[in-house]
Amino acid sequence: MSKSQIQLAIAIGNTRIKAVIFDSKKQILEEYAYTHEQLPNLEAKLATRNFERIAIASVVPDMITSWHRLPQTQTIATADVPLQGLYSTMGCDRALAAYGAGENYGYPVMVIDAGTAITITAIDAHKNLMGGAIIAGLRSQFACLHQNTAALPDLPIPETLPKRWATNTHEAIQGGVAHLLIAGLQAYIDDWRSQFPQSQVIITGGDSDYLMKWGLKVDMMEKNLVFLGIMALT
């Protein structure tokens, strides 16, 4: 495939760096995911590749890649996303995920991004931001309990929904986080659907699988919403 036919999109999140290579038809050809510490590995992996255009969306301003300095690189900010009512401190990843969801699956749309933080973003039929919410992500919640107490253990995320009424500390932590999180997210979904019953509710992010296994009622999971947003801009 010639240089003119492939593009590179990079999304730098709070925990990981993801990249996709896509063609002129906006088809994703390759996908990569690395931790921040593994950025040199990603750069080495793609060092010999030539891209007509490169787009970078980052929520970590201090992390500069070798691609930032190239003339064909566009650094995407929240203000570049053509949705109305976005505020200046809103992360570009949230804006791009919402835009990617709406452009590919229709407006109105509600997006849940289950990553280091869990964000909710709601866009109406006229591409206006209706609002949203931010809470600590699954791993963040378990880590917070462990790091800020003297005796509570650092526990893994359970694969299946724990029982509601626990009789030991491990199950009490896992069940408390899981049930309260699902109930809170479902309350947001139900309220949104009461206002916009025709809306899609889409989930993305690394911990989406857990939330869906635990019974969160969404319409679909789409892991590449941020990249769909980037591709819609390019």
Give, for all 234 residues of the chain, the pLDDT tens digit: 444 579 999 999 999 999 999 999 999 999 999 999 999 999 999 999 999 999 999 999 999 999 999 999 999 999 999 999 999 999 999 999 999 999 999 999 999 999 999 999 999 999 999 999 999 999 999 999 999 999 999 999 999 999 999 999 999 999 999 999 999 999 999 999 999 999 999 999 999 999 999 999 999 999 999 999 999 998
Strands (E), 36-171: 53-58, 73-76, 109-114, 117-123, 129-136
d(CA 39, CA 36): 6
Domain ranges within the chain, ordered by starting residue:
3-76, 92-233
Which CATH number fits the domain 92-233, given the four candidates 3.90.1150.10, 3.40.50.720, 3.40.50.1000, 3.30.420.40?
Answer: 3.30.420.40
Judging by DSSP bridges, how do beta strands 129-136 and 117-123 pair with one another? antiparallel
One-letter identity of residue 59:
V
* Equal fold, 3-76 vs 92-233: yes
Judging by DSSP bridges, how do beta strands 28-35 and 16-23 pair with one another? antiparallel
Q: Is 230 helix (H, G, I), strand (E, B) or coil?
A: helix
Task: Confirm whether pTM is higher than 0.75.
Answer: yes
> Which element (helix H / strand E) includes 29?
strand 28-35
Could you confirm whether domain 3-76 is CATH 3.30.420.40? yes
Could you count the other beta carbons within 10 Å of the beta carbon of residue 174? 19
- The residues annotated with a catalytic role in the active site are 93
Q: What is the pLDDT of residue 216?
A: 97
Q: What is the pLDDT of residue 234?
A: 83
Copy the structure tokens of residue 131.
């609002």
